[in-house]
Amino acid sequence: MRDFRLYAITGEQFHPNRDLIEVMEEAIQGGVDIIQLRDKTSAKPELLRKARALRELTRKHGVTFIVNDHIDVAMEVDADGIHLGQGDVSLLDARKIVGDKIIGISTHALQEAWLAQQQGADYIGVGPVYRTATKADVVDPVGVSYVREVTQHIRIPFVAIGGIKLNNVDEVIGAGATRICAVSEIVGSSDVKGTCEAFLSKLNK
**Residue 135 a catalytic site member:** yes
The 3 state secondary structure assigned to the chain is CCCCCEEEECCHHHCCCCCHHHHHHHHHHCCCCEEEECCCCCCHHHHHHHHHHHHHHHHHHCCEEEEECCHHHHHHHCCCEEEECCCCCCHHHHHHHHCCCEEEEEECCHHHHHHHHHHCCCEEEECCCCCCCCCCCCCCCCHHHHHHHHHHHCCCCEEECCCCCCCCHHHHHHCCCCCEEECHHHHCCCCHHHHHHHHHHHHCC
Among residues 55, 106, 184, 189, which one is catalytic? 106
Among residues 50, 101, 135, 179, which one is catalytic? 135
Among residues 38, 55, 101, 179, which one is catalytic? 38
Tell me the catalytic residues.
38, 106, 135
